[in-house]
Structures are given as C-alpha cells and as structure tokens.
Amino acid sequence: MNLNTIAVHAGDREKAPCQTPVTTPIYGATSYAADSMEQLDRIFGREEAGYCYARYDNPTNAALEAQVNALENGHGALACASGMLALQIAVTAALADRRKSIVAADALYGATVSLLMNVIEPSGVAVRSADVCDLDAFRAAVAEARPGCILMESISNPLLRVGRIDCIAQIAREAGAALVVDNTFATPLLVRPLELGAAMSVHSLTKYLAGHGDVLGGVIVSDAAHYDGMRALARTVGPALGPFESYLAMRGVKTFPLRMERQCANARKVAAFLAGHNKVEQVYFPDDPAHPDAPAVRKLFPEGLYGAMVSFEIGGAAKPQVFRFMDALRTVVKATSLGDVHTMMLYPAMSSHRDLSPKHRERMGIRESLVRLSVGIEGAEDIIADLDQALARV
C-alpha cells in the first residue's frame, strides 16, 4: 500500500461501541472499567486485549502507535513523552538480556552523546564510538567491544553522514547485538530501518512526523523479538505520551509524506544555491555527488528524496559573524528544532551540541562556522532570497 494512503488511514476508525468516529478521539481517562473482575484480571495479565491504566496504554496512543508502526513496517510501536526518552527506552530494551556494552556511531546528535556519556555509561554500561561509514573499522570495533547494542542515526546530525544500515545490521547480527537506529532525519519516506535488519527504529515525533511545532513526543517501532520487552519496560517506568499530544501527532502524520516530499525538493534547490554562493565555504547535503557516503545514499534512499536538512559553513566566520548572519534572517525561523512546515536554522555549537567540549565538537567536525538548516514547505525561491540577503551581511 502507498505510504500516503497508510499515513491517512492507519490506526483510525477502529471498532467503537456506537457509530465509529472518522478520527480517533482523545481518551483522557487514566483508568478503565471492565465488565467483570475476571475480564479485568485477563486484561491486567495481557491475556485479553483491553485497557486498564493509562501508564500501560491508551486508545489514542494505540492509534498513533498503529499508524507509525504501519509506516515503518514494524511489529509494534511505543509512543513516548519525548524523542530522547524513546531513545533511552529503546537502548535499555536492547540491552535487557545482553552484554552491557554499546558501540555507537561517532557522529550523533549532541543530546544523544550526552545521554550515552552522562546517563548510560555511569550506570555501568560500557560505551565506545566508531565510524559507521567505515565498515571495516566499525566491524573491528564491534569485534573488540562485543556490544549488546549498536546505535546509529540514519542521517547523522548535523553533518548528514549516511551509513549502510543494512551492512551495520549484518554486523550486529553476527555479534548478537541489537541495532537501534534514530530515523528522525530520514523518516519512513526515505528509509525503513527494520526492513534493513534493525531491531528498533526511533523517531522524535516532534520533528517531521508531527511536523507543525506543536507536539513534544517520541516513538519507537520494534521488531517482534524486542516488542514485548519494550512494552514491559514501559509499563514499569511510564514513558507514556499524553493522549492530546498523541492526537495532534496523529493528525500531523497524515500529511507527513506530502510535507516531506516538498521539503526534500526545496532542500535540493537550497543546497544547490548555497553550493554556488561565494560566502559559503562548504555545503553538507546527501544529494551532493561528492558526498563522502554517496554510494550509501544511492543504495538506501529513493531517487530525488535525500532529506530536508542542509548544513553549511560560512567562509571565515566565527560566532560573531554567524550571529550577524542569523540575526539578519527575516522568514527563516531561528529556533532549536527541525522538521516543521517553516524553515528553521540553528547554530549547533550553541544549541544541539552545546554540552560537548570545544575539542569534542572539533573532533566531530562541528566548527564555529557551521549552521544547520531545516528546510520547510515555503516557496523555495523565498527561502533562497532570505538566505541570500542575510549572507550579504556577513
């Protein structure tokens, strides 16, 4: 079935006790009564489908989970209160019955690095990083570390590196590890990690899936082997997304493929403009034939769909010059997020990777001249005109 059709119909119009609403209602109840204690006992024991307590599940959340699960072609999904919480739950579930060791990509979102270094590693889990784009080196790192979990991003934040998820999944299988992929930047429109062998695919719902800057949430889509453990963990720690947020996210997901197609098309035009601008030193965009991971990009992504993120370095710029450029922007929104219908820009050294030391950022290639652009659905010519006039101020 076409992804646009799945996004519009999946999860909605489940059987109801009366006439079926065309969209899933917001179920605000925290508890649910059963027809008998015997039935409630079976629901608590998960011997019968049903609802008993909102920390375990909720009909609105279940509809959203069914929707996103269908998009990712998974076994089941779990909606969480934020993308970072979803990532923590996924990694914890992956390590439940495995060696407490993680090999993570060396190019990751700053908060993910902080999660690994400041939360997961102090809890007794060994963490090391390796380059997922160098398969031989990564295979060697996995053989040495013998991890229970491998963690990567489908498109890395913010330098947009693309690793061969299918090859990394094979390395994970050979090592007995579970591969967790943060698929926020690529979305199911570009790649579905579970189809390539990943155990879990994680999204910040806040970004492209919900897409309107009004929902904070995350979601994990799991394979069959990890689903029950993930749900059992969630029943205890309670990461549940609120039903109102689930409703808003589900409404946003219905138009996600349309929005993402437009954003990808706009991003190609913006990247081409920036590549020819005399004030721009380097552009990072997966469609670039000179991209270091061009073979992986062509292997994994559909033709013409390379994501809607464009990062670039302003020639000779340090923090003051970058701030002058960003302050001059008129329609591009200066804010810390991505995936919204409007174009947004942030300064990674100040925001997404702020908690990392300058030396750590430098090792990751995140220099003071780098900015990250999330391209929206506006007219591409208007986005380009705004960038052009702002670059003239540098």
- Give dist(CA 161, CA 155) in Å, integer: 6
CA atoms within 13 A on the CB side of 354: 6
Residues facing residue 79 across a β-bridge: 219
> In this structure, are residues 332 and 373 in contact, taking their beta carbons and an 8 Å threshold?
yes
> In this structure, are residues 352 and 157 in contact, taking their beta carbons and an 8 Å threshold?
yes
Question: How big, in percent rounded to 5, are the helix, strand and coil portions of the chain?
Answer: 40, 15, 45
Residues noted as catalytic: 55, 109, 182, 207
The full DSSP string for 334-372 is: E-S---SSS-EEE-TTTTTTTTS-HHHHHHTT--TTEEE
Contacts of 106 (CB under 8 A, 6+ apart): 129, 130, 131, 132, 364
Per the listing, tokens 């979102």 go with 109
154: nearest Cα among 200, 212, 209, 216: 200
The full DSSP string for 153-189 is: ESS-TTT-----HHHHHHHHHHHTPEEEEE-TTTHHH
